Structure 1
């Protein structure tokens, strides 16, 4: 484990090749997390960047698994970074909400309703995915830089013709 021992209600970030899987610590070595249908708890712990279940499935199941099984050989850390801007719900409420969800199937979308959205909704009452937000900002920046480069090239061509 890369950081301090998790406490009840902590968000656990599991670094896999190219993405992070998220879970919430519920005690005694267990986490609650969302697993796309057809994917095992530790899927994506190998060399593939994103498991096919994450991309292809539009349904997921909420599971309670041992953290060691979910993480496999991947590194993990407690990551409650949204505590800086969002107030966590009381731990008892987080645990109760997480336990009620176990075994339920739910809509899944890697961009709008993924494992990080799920655990942040449990902890804060608000679904957020910084992983998706950062990717979207990066895509927007790349798009803006591309547009700026095209604009600069057009301006340069215009100046050179005159």
Structure 2
């Protein structure tokens, strides 16, 4: 499926452009997405010192509500290197997670990891990986600031 489309199909990855980070969701059909949020979770973040770990709640909500005023696009960018599961399997697996609490860690269990696990069977997040892999001190400091900002923003937004 083409990257950058605005006509989502069930099973598509939706990238939502937040001011500091990108939020990811999975399109379920009929205008709805599934995504992880701290809304309704029993514990949110242990502390910023623990790299923003805690619990998140899986929600099925209208794409327009999740995106708000932020721009979004279909972005199945990992289709180039991974084979998506069949759409009916993606949706079936996604529906099993609705309203469940899941572990959250901005480095290896974030919103992008969650939806790529559903689509491909493997959780991947270039957003974090790119920031961590660039070995410059400024980038590492920026990555830490990004992670803290992502966690703070998630708390305020959801």
Q: Same fold by TM-score, threshold 0.5 exceeded?
A: yes
Secondary structure of 2:102's counterpart equals strand
CA distance in 1, matches of 2:53, 2:63: 23
The Cα offsets for residues 74-129 of structure 1, whole Å up to 9 and x where unpaired, read as 00000000000000000000000000000110110111100000000000000000
Superposition pairs of residues 3-82 of structure 1, within 5 angstroms: 3-37=5-39, 56=52, 58-82=54-78
1:105 aligns to 2:101 (yes or no): yes
Give the SS at the match of 1:108: strand
* Equivalent in the alignment of 1:114: 110
Who is 1:46 aligned against?
A: none
Aligned to 2:147: none
Shift of 1:21: 0.3
Which has more radius of gyration? 1
Q: CA RMSD in A?
A: 2.2
Runs (4 or more) in structure 1 with deviation over 4 Å come to none
Q: How high is the TM-score relative to the length of structure 1?
A: 0.73
How far apart, CA to CA, are the structure 2 residues paired with 1:68 and 1:57?
27
- TM-score, structure 2 length as denominator? 0.75
Work out which of the residue numbers 80, 92, 97 in structure 2 matches 1:96.
92
Q: Compute the displacement of 1:69 (Å).
A: 0.1
Mapped to 1, the partners of 2:97 and 2:31 lie a distance apart of: 18
Matched-pair contact (CA < 8 Å) for 2:55–2:104: yes
Q: Which structure 2 residue ranges, 5 or more long, are not aligned? A: 42-47, 140-158
Q: What is the rounded CA distance, in whole Å, between the counterparts of 1:100 and 1:19 in structure 2?
A: 27
Q: How many residues align?
A: 128
